[in-house]
Amino acid sequence: MTRIYVDADACPVKDEIYRVAERHGLPVSVVAGNFIRVPKHPLIERIAAGSGMDAADDWIAERAQKGDIVVTADIPLAARCVKAGADVIAPNGKPFSEDSIGMTLAVRNLMTDLRSSGEVTGGPRSFSPRDRSAFLSALDQTIRRIQRAQQK
């Protein structure tokens, strides 16, 4: 059965994920480094992965597999999950795929190097209602595509 894994520490679309998951009857694992509040619902489990560096990322990457969905803005985690066969969606609705993850990771590493050398690169743009809408659409489309594939 498809499971949705949420990299929850800075995820702005958790409420949207809960609603979509409930509508489709899918379990959700909300993974954070430490305690995070989640609704009391039988489909939603809270995972406190520990405060170690990348503990939540490691927990998700060890479990995500083909047929699962991972929601994260963390590009290295997205790369690990794509490699494992999971579908990965950023909170702004952007899907990560085998075709796109290599370039996305390279750009992320370049920007990290520029920032560490003192370059002012600006940060990501702020999260908008359009991003929320794009995410909802991408999540619903991904669930339906996975369900069709599982029925074959």
Q: What is the CATH number for 26?
A: 3.40.50
Q: What is the mean pLDDT of residues 43-53?
A: 92
Parent domain of 78: 4-97+137-151
- Establish if 68 belongs to a structural domain: yes
Residue 18 forms part of a structural domain: yes
- pTM for this model (two decimals): 0.87
- β-partners of residue 69 are 4, 87
Asked, for residue 44, whether it belongs to a domain, the answer is: yes
**Residue 49 counted as domain residue:** yes
**Domain assignment present for 27:** yes
How far are the Cα atoms of 74, 78, 126 from residue 87, in angstroms, in the given order? 14, 9, 24
Task: Please report the pLDDT score of residue 10 as a whole number.
Answer: 82
Q: Which of 5, 120, 17 is nearest to 61 (CA)?
A: 5
Would 29 be classed as within a structural domain? yes
- Reply yes or no on whether the pLDDT at 108 is more than 70: no
Number of domains comprising the chain: 1
Whether 129 maps to a domain, the answer reads no
In a domain, 114, yes or no: no
